[in-house]
Amino acid sequence: MPAASAPVFRLYLLRHAKAAWTLPGQRDFDRTLDDIGFADAEIVAGVAADQGLRPDLVLCSTAVRCRQTADAFRRAMTEDLDIRYVDELYAGGANIYRDIIGSQDPALLSLMVVGHNPVIEEILREILGDEAAAEAAPAGYPPGALAVIDFDTHPSDGGLPLGTLTAWLDPDSHSG
């Protein structure tokens, strides 16, 4: 039996972990993870690291809760994990996410996007199809969940190709 070939491109879609409610006078952008969110981010990051799921590059929304979620991956994987913060991922819609993913260097083998719903779920549905996305996340894309999608072709400015879900890490299914 021949060995499975490596994917041309791997995309990690990570929704930020559970965040606290907005405090009076606080901007949505400044919301932090709550205690459950911090724990969930550590759990999913640890499981990903244990399974060797390490992206070459992380593009993260500049919102505080996304930065805190990405920091859990830096701690679990390596301090030199390349995390770049992208303002457009905070309020951008699916077109912005698509453009950011498709505009990466074609030599890049894997990319993690840390962002927000409903866009993360919309992108998942687009690249897996509604049926496969609903099977992976029947109740929607939960906070702190990570989808790992493999592609036979590299995304381009023209759009995202169909991919195959190779891993689904949901904090609820991996917590003690």
pLDDT digits (tens, 9 = 90+) for 48-98: 999 999 999 999 999 999 999 999 999 999 888 999 999 999 999 999 999
Q: 84, 100 in Cβ contact below 8 A?
A: no
User: Could you read off the pLDDT of 18-42 as tens digits, one per residue?
Assistant: 999 988 999 999 999 999 999 999 9
**Distance between CA atoms of 11 and 175, rounded to whole angstroms?**
24
Asked: is 11-21+42-174 a CATH 3.30.2290.10 domain? The reply is: no
pLDDT tens-place string over residues 138-175: 999 999 999 999 999 999 876 899 999 999 999 987 65
On whether the CB atoms of residues 12 and 110 are closer than 8 A, the answer is yes
| pLDDT category of residue 7 using cuts at 50, 70 and 90 | confident
Give all strands of the β-sheet with 83-86 in edge-to-edge order.
83-86, 57-61, 110-115, 9-15, 146-151, 164-169
